[in-house]
Every structure is written in C-alpha cells, then in structure tokens.
Amino acid sequence: QGYSSAASDVYKRQPSAVLDTVAEQLADVDLTLPDYCPDIEKILKCTLTPKIQSRTLSGGQLQIDGFCTVNVMYVESIKKSVRCCEQSVNFSQNFSVKDAPDNPVIITKTKPEYINCRALSPRRLVMHGAFSLYAKVFSKTQTSIFTPSDNIETDRKTVTCADLKSFCQEQFSVCEEISVGEKPQIESVLRSDVSVGVIDAKAVTGKLMLNGELNLKLLYLSNAESGEVEKLDYLLPFNKILDCDGIDENTINCVSCDVMSYDIRLKNDMLSEKPSVILEVKLCVTEEGYITREEEFVCDAYSTEFSSLPEFEQLKITGEVVPINEPHMEKMSVKIDDGKISRILDIFTEQITAEASHDDRGMVISGKINICILALNGEDVPVFIERSADYEHIIPQTDCTCAKIFGTRTASISYRLAEDDVIEIRCELKICGAVFSENRVNTVKNVNVFEDKPIPPENCALTLYFADKGEKLWDIAKSHNTKLDLLLSENSAENQVLDAPKMLLIPRI
C-alpha cells in the first residue's frame, strides 16, 4: 500500500487561452455612385477596412459585431481629379468558448486579406473582399508547487519568475472636435486613418494611469471644381484612469491599446469660416502586470525509509519581462517604372507586419512595410503606386529570447523627389510590445511512497565511496538512501558537484 505526497502552494499565475481562433469574413458590395459623385474613368485604389463595434461573451458564446467599410479612390472622367466613394456592410460572428472564465480578457484583431473591384459601368462597381477575424479569450490560471512531507529528501533549484498579478481590459471612447485651422476647407474626405500610441502608463494600487495619443490623418478634397486636395495630420493626446485589480507601484506593466472603430463627421458651422471635424474613436486597453520574484522548485525527491517513485512535469517559466516602445527608422528608395512624377499628393503605409526572433545579435523584430503613394504623373493625371519593403529592428544586449508584439504603427513618414522617377522615403515606426525570457524547468509534481516496501538497513558498519570528478553528491546520496545534508557534513563538502576525485564516507541513517 502506498501514499502520495501531494502538491499544494500556488507559486505562479499566468494567462491561459481558452479560445484562440480565426475566421474568414467575406464582404460583397454592389455600389452605385450617388448623384453628387462624377463618373469613374480609372480606379486607383480599393481598400477594405473592418471595424469592430462590440464583443460580448455570454452563455459560452463570444459574439463579435462590427462593420466593414469598402472605399474606392478613383480618377473622375471630366476633370481627371481624385474622387472617392465608400459603402459599409455589417458583419457578425459567433465563437463557442468552452470553460468560459468569470472575468475573461477578450482580444480581437482584424486583418484585410484581399479586395477585388470591377466596374460594370462608369457609375456602378462590384467588389468582393475578405478579412480575417482573430479572437482570443484568456483567463488567469494558477499552477501549484510541490510541497513534500518531512520524511522526503528534495533537490531544489531557485529560479527567477515573473508572476502575473493583474490581467485586465477596458474599452472607452475619445471624442474631439478638430478645427482645420488655416488649411482650406474640407469638401469631402478621400482617405482617413486613425492610429493610437501609449506614451506612458503609471500604476498605483488598483489603478492604471494611462497617457496616450491619437493620430488622425486625412486626405481630403478642398475644391471640387479644381480637384485640389489637402492633407491634415493631427495629434490628439488623451488620458484615462483604468481599474486594474492587483497592480501597484512595483508591478511591471505591459500595456497595449487598439483602435476598435472610429467615426469622422464634418461639422459645417455657418458662423465659422473654417469647418470642423468631429472624431469619435472607440479604444480598447489591455494590461498585464507582473511581479518578479525568486521561487524554489523541487527537481528531484526520494524517501530514505521506503521505496519511492517521483513523478515529473515540465513547466514553462517566464523569467524577466521588459515592456518595449521602440522607434525604428527605415529608409527606402522607390523607382517609378512608367514615367515621371510631377507631384506627390499623399504617401502612407498599410498592413505593417512584425515577427520576433532571437539570434546572437539580440532580439530581432522583422516584417514588411507596404508603402502607398498617390501622385500626379508628367501629364498631371493621378496615379497610384504601391511598394513593399522589408525592415529589421534589433534590440541588442538582452537576455530575453521571446517577444510579444502588440502593434507596429507609423509615427511619421517623409519623402523627397530625388529624380523625376525616384522617390526617397523615410518612415519612422513605433514598435510596441514586451520582451521576456522563458525557461523550461523539470519539476517534481508528486512522489509515490510505497510503505509496504521498506528500505532494508545497511549490514556494514562503514561505507566508503570512491567518487569521480564531476559526480553530484545528490545522486550519490540518493543511490545510498542517505540524506544529502549528512553526506555534506560528514565529508566537509561545500559544493554539490565534485571538482576532483574524492573518497567519501557514506553516513548511515
């Protein structure tokens, strides 16, 4: 008959995914131009932008609702200027979530996959596209450390652990009325983009004080008669106090902020010479707060009284966690293959990818930048150019071997016409995430002790063991059913690994 020495004390908390999936969403649009839009001569760019409005987890079902905006930028047939039209379609997706937690953290992201646009006539377009909808649901899990009874010998190892103390998420909206200022008035918006960045995050007990900024970029038509376009680049700072149980001044906070959806409306005030833009953005902040501490793990165990058999498991331990908000400058040269450029109307980035790896240089963040250029050619006719470029950012001198990339955004982009057909571009990226070290530790999760199989006593009065260099005193003590501390004491040994051959006296219990 045997008994087990059970596990007990909680030592580590970590986020555990109860849902990690992706679904493809289709977007089919049959668009007829409104009366105020001129006919289409040539399509320049067709984009698909999914926006999430709400996420609800109830009854084991995660429901995600939103809408997808299809925007068509084109050259109109009369004055050869840039125009656009757009149309939105709603989407809704349900995911089954087994073992849904009480306080879940839901992370959703979208990624446009493709969009095909076909003109049936100068006033009618048929578009077919798709985007990926990523959904993750996390809960906080706890892992227990093995706690042996008094008659069990243990070999222990001390490891630095990052313990998850808080894991929270909150959604909120930012609304602002933005004056165009000295710029020409806005007649219609041709292209819009809103990005968000976290500037600073400070924690006090149970609260996270967040400072961030929104970046609104608009390309708009300022004069419908002449076809003149203008750009607006506006930074909007914001701050928010979030409730986060478990955090305090000592936690290491990894914070990400995502734009779920945004809405732009033109406000034409008869009393003002300059119209305003009303921007409303729905944001979602996710926070992970860690405390770094030392933890002892039982790596091996045995009984000196009875036959015993330990059971092992491998644990993945997060050691060091370091938040990152890294700037990266990428320079590139774009050559135009089909003629010269007389003027650049707009330049922006789309679909910046990021992956993390580790080599002898440090942590390497790499991916692709898709550059989009709206310009006028030598005949002053609008043209659209797309190029992709690889980038690589290195974080040197770090012991961290893993990374989570929360987001990569374009902080600024500048350019100059080096020649009639060559554009030199400088693109500054901001890479937000966290780097961390990760170890795998073999630990004892249980010891089966068989009381019906006692270890027979030694018959000899004295036992000598001739040990070789590099042998471990733990292995010697275990093989002779004695205690490690007695073996160390009897032989005046300071180190558990022998640095030279030695004769050892094996103590009896």
Q: What is the mean pLDDT of residues 328-341?
A: 88
Distance CA 196, CA 213 (A): 6
How would you label 445-467 residue by residue, b for 16+ Cβ within 10 Å and e otherwise? bbbebeeeeeeeeeeeeeeeeeb
Kindly state the average pLDDT of the residues 150-161.
88
**What's the pLDDT score for residue 272?**
58
Lowest-confidence pick of 4-8, 174-178, 382-386, 452-456: 4-8
pLDDT tens-digit profile of 386-410? 999 999 999 987 778 899 999 899 9
Among the listed ranges 127-136, 143-152, 465-474, which one has the minimum average pLDDT value?
Answer: 143-152
Helix (H) or strand (E) holding 215: strand 207-223
Lowest-pLDDT range of 118-122, 169-173, 421-425, 456-460: 456-460
Share of the chain above pLDDT 70, in %: 96
**Mean pLDDT score of the chain:** 89
How many whole angstroms separate alpha carbon 378 and alpha carbon 486?
90
| CA atoms of 214 and 48, how far apart (whole Å) | 21
Per residue in 67-76, pLDDT tens? Answer: 999 999 999 9
- Give the side-chain half-sphere CA count within 13 A for 361: 9
Q: What is the Cα–Cα distance from 110 to 158, expressed in whole angstroms?
A: 42
Maximum alpha-carbon separation in the chain: 110
Residue 269: pLDDT band by 50, 70, 90 thresholds? low
Q: What is the mean pLDDT of residues 280-304?
A: 92
Give the residue from 176, 432, 379, 382 showing the smallest Cα distance to 280. Answer: 176
Q: What is the pLDDT of residue 12?
A: 56
Least confident span in 8-12, 42-46, 259-263, 337-341: 8-12
pLDDT in tens, 131-147: 999 999 988 777 777 77
Looking up tokens 């008669």 gives 225
> Has residue 306 got a pLDDT over 50?
yes
